[in-house]
Structure 1
């Protein structure tokens, strides 16, 4: 689905900008009018780190008129493995200021604003106000939730990405897109409370080139939305498995939308039903899609651990069928089960997840202790 342009074009490009963006204007999808729309665009980038670095460089080079770079952190030596907008001379400097200098060096007409405030619920709308689009490259779900809410209140689209280890996800959220599209938000991908706080790059590591790959994709999505061309990743999420050299696309629908027959929710098993089936003559495989720190606290006996990102990257990897998928409370398991079913694997979900399993286990222990 192609959306109308987000911005009206400026009257004309400066002579230098006209020459600098010649290869863009040669593209029939962009042309002179599209380039003039980019020159009029105002974009907020949250985070000048692994994802923000390529996003900022790409959009500044592309000819976006204004970039507002929001980051209260400072450059560290360990950042340079993936945060390519910074260099050895900027270690210790403000990330927003460092990124502003590099972006400003790519165009004589771009306006770059460095914002060193920590973005939170108290200031998110103010920091994003006046922008046509926001790009979230932050690294915590607390910040992501705040950015999503602010974009919904302001009515602007949000290009969203995440990267961890060798996996990345990129999509577009928009709470109030033009009709007939229905709004899709972060909560449709990660319902509140379902994601927890996954391991960060410091503990799990991250492949540096993957940040550039995902960030470049996010910048392309922004360009398409700003000038109204192509098919944005709205209603779709791109999942990249860098080590497996695979890139998959999965549908993403509003959580309140009634499912079609082809995308009906996976069946649910209660704790009792799962226990009975595990004790039967043909027990199902159990797939735990939580993160490593979560499964360390306990799993369903015999379960196989495959984090959600890996399941989404390659739903055919778990070859067992049928499969019962487990997460902490259910939403992540449902996403994994949908992906497995799309790959032809029979999959259901443990109703209530590990929280229900633990509660039932405690109840059984109490009953036995009480005689």
Structure 2
């Protein structure tokens, strides 16, 4: 690793992060000639890029443009970590992958794409999830980390690992039409926990699958993150240390929020809190199935009494399946309601479920579902992963008749398909 020693002298002009590579080949001079023509970057800056080692967390919406532009810029060594596979729904925004890559591991698809772009670079593909077990070691052996994760737990784990190892971290997030970018460099400015002290609940903000995302937004935010990486490596410009860049694609509005170190914030001493958040995320919140890291649970192993869980506001897949497979007189007491949009039901739906979109429930309350719940003593709401159905449950709970129990299906249709072996 070639990262220079960090200087804690504030957030003004920052030194280059990486020592320059000794030379550029004639082919590299030709390839990067547009960089070499920039006085701020030039030959020395390009040699710094060629000597840099970068870790990218995620090969998805943000990771794809980050990886593509860093490889094109001449980064010498890139490690990408991701434990997911390419799905058809990824192709709308994850431009590194192709139709032919659907079903492949994302890191393998990403590695092949980067090596097609630059066969001379070094690409390490880790089919894994960032964890408390590997984070410190991975951060310590790279000059810089870019966080393209899609969940709060991993973002805070990355922040804490950066703080413990002194590794600069470039952070970005997207949802719907909005994105944010910042740079966290331990000892030189505030960190994520100075801006957002606590790990939010996993379902406090809808993910891209639930809330949607404009595909090209990933390119805008990911490119901004790659730009920050180049600036840090070469020691040029003013990086987003102590600043949060905010972008609204609908209004074409950019704004910057300044923030400082919170002197009252506890210093990160270990990865324990972030590890617990990641464990809760991977636990799947009552999701049963191999994709959640648990053995499959057959419906024959449960009785109808198992519908009630420790959290009476939710029901798990196996318990709901028992009820739906039961005799009709029991089934008739249960109403299953899909709160997703019309187009989502065309892809999959729980057999026998009725459709009342979340938008209508939030607008009309109990009157939106009173007809479909006629005669039932129990209502189970579901969406894709459980976020929207939890919102619908909260909206209905205050107005539901005393004799009707309203619950949300933990893990949504995704958990249902895993648990029932339909995916």
Q: Same fold (TM over 0.5)?
A: yes
1:37 paired residue number: 48
Q: Would the alpha carbon gap of residues 296 and 247 (structure 1) be closer, same or farther in structure 2, given more than 3 Å must change? A: farther
Conserved? CA contact 1:17–1:109, under 8 Å: no
Are 2:210 and 1:199 aligned?
Answer: no
Q: How does 1:261-280 map to 2 (within 5 A)?
A: none
1:315 alignment partner in structure 2? none
Match of 1:105, SS state, is helix
TM-score, normalised on structure 1?
Answer: 0.67
Change in Cα spacing, 1:36 to 1:193, as seen in structure 2 (3 Å) is closer
| Contact map agreement 1:94 1:116 (CA 8 A) in 2 | yes
Alignment pair present for 1:17 and 2:28: yes
1:29-68 matches, cutoff 5 A:
29-68=40-79
| Aligned alpha-carbon RMSD (Å) | 1.9
- TM-score between the two structures when normalised by the length of structure 2: 0.59
CA distance in 1, matches of 2:93, 2:71: 19
Shift, 1:128, TM fit: 2.5
Contact 2:184 2:192 in 1 (8 A): yes
Q: What are the Cα deviations for residues 155-196 of structure 1, in whole angstroms up to 9, with x where unaligned?
A: 11100000000110000012222xxxxx31111121114465
Secondary structure, in 3 states, of the residue corresponding to 1:75?
coil
* Residues 242 and 31 (structure 1), Cα distance of their counterparts in 2 relative to 1, 3 Å cut: same
Alignment match, 2:261 = 254
CA contact (8 A) 2:139 2:167 kept: no
Paired position in structure 2 for 1:97:
108
Matches within 5 A, 1:222-371: 222-256=229-263, 297=394
* Aligned counterpart, 1:138: 149
For 2:235 and 2:261, the matched residues in 1 are separated by 22
Structure 2 gaps, min length 5: 1-11, 266-386, 396-423
Contact 2:182–2:241 (8 Å) recurs in 1: yes
Q: 3-state DSSP class of the match of 1:237?
A: strand
Correspondence 1:116 to 2:123 = no
What is the CA–CA distance in structure 1 between the aligned matches of 2:199 and 2:264, rounded to whole Å? 20
How far off is 1:106 after superposition?
Answer: 1.7
Counterpart check, 1:82 vs 2:88 = no
CA deviations 1:208-263 (Å, max 9, x no partner) are 000000000000000000010000011110111001111111112112279xxxxx
Asked if the contact 2:56–2:80 (Cα under 8 Å) also holds between the matched residues in 1, the reply is: yes
Cα distance per residue 1:63-107 (max 9 Å; x no partner) = 001000111110000000000000101111111111111111222
Change in CA separation of 1:108 and 1:257 when aligned onto 2, cut-off 3 Å: same
What corresponds to 2:190 in structure 1? 184
Deviation digits for residues 304-350 of structure 1, max 9, x if unmatched? xxxxxxxxxxxxxxxxxxxxxxxxxxxxxxxxxxxxxxxxxxxxxxx
Aligned to 1:209: 216
Instruction: Give unpaired runs (5+ residues) of structure 1.
Output: 178-182, 259-290, 299-371
Moved more, 187-196 or 133-142: 187-196
Q: Residue 93 of structure 1 aligns to a residue in which SS?
A: coil
Structure 2 match to 1:271: none
User: Using the alignment, how far apart are the partners of 2:264 and 2:227 within structure 1?
Assistant: 28
Structure 2 match to 1:129: 140
Deviations 1:6-54 (A, max 9, x none): 1110110122112100001111110000000000000000000000000
Whole-angstrom CA distance in 2 between matches of 1:131 and 1:154: 10
Q: How many residues align?
A: 261
